[in-house]
Amino acid sequence: MIKKLLGLAPQQEADGSYSPSKVALKLATSDKTDFDNVSYRKYRGKQSKILAIFTERKNMTMQNGKKFSTGNHPVEALLPMLHLRNAGFDFEIVTPNGKPVVFEMWAFPEKDEHVKAIYRHYKAKFDKPGKLRDYVDATFAESGNYAAVFVPGGHGAMLGIPEDKNVGKALRQAHANDLFTVTLCHGPGSLLATTLDNQPFLYKGYKMAVFPDSVDKKTPMIGYLPGQMPVGLSERLKALGAEVVNSKSDDTVCLDRKLITGASPLASDKLGKLAAETLLKELN
């Protein structure tokens, strides 16, 4: 009751899940982003597509049994997409089973016209995405039209995606074909899929920016999460041999070989710039 009066209690949604408290939303979200509308030299080559793997799942069950209302973080998804689209790239939107993309709409920047515009542009694809399996088995595996794989963040990126064999296949195919992989915050949970079927971790020895477990453990104090995470991410990646370069949920971005990563929602704009500039430099 005291937490509710102070605005620190997570807010229950119609399906029984919980979105962040009023205080957490004030601290962690904004109605406008820091998007820098850079004018890039447009890419005109053949490798103009980016395979964007989104989650189709909404609720994460915490250690205490409460469900966190999650999905893909809209800023972490749409700011990198804005930069890459401005640089001349387009997206094939997919989810593991072709179900609609789920966003953390409580984090949507309602007064940001750039974000709203790209969301509207891809809304039909978000509502009816492709099935990842179809791209792994056919188009993506055989086509020379792709530049990268993009896995946006949001806690929802840890729902099913790290355990999806097709995610592992897509990342291994991208790696084998010298394509880039772009991800941020909790999106690097997708990298765990490369260890399925007892395969070695594809990114052992790589430097990367990831949302820290230490921060996730603190967020229930302000009602961002309704309980402790069911499983961490940054420490699991370290245990597999990754070198996590950040200790805070800040704007850190990292480029190591063909892996481009960011630490948190605060890194979304910098990640988009780094990805756009890197792809243009490497592909032109």
In angstroms, rounded to a whole number, what is the distance separating the alpha carbons of residues 156 and 138? 26
In angstroms, rounded to a whole number, what is the distance separating the alpha carbons of residues 265 and 153? 8
* Closest alpha carbon to 78 in 33, 47, 30: 33
To which H or E segment does residue 61 belong?
A: strand 59-61
Cβ–Cβ < 8 Å for 196, 168: yes
Rounded to 10 deg, the angle between the 74-86 and 113-121 helix axes is 80
> What letter represents residue 113's amino acid?
E
Cβ atoms within 10 Å of 19's Cβ, excluding its own = 20
> What letter represents residue 274's amino acid?
L
In angstroms, rounded to a whole number, what is the distance separating the alpha carbons of residues 32 and 84? 19
Answer yes or no: 254 catalytic.
no
Cβ–Cβ < 8 Å for 223, 27: no
In angstroms, rounded to a whole number, what is the distance separating the alpha carbons of residues 261 and 75? 15
- Choice among 185, 222, 237, 267 that is catalytic: 185
Q: Active-site residues: which are they?
A: 185
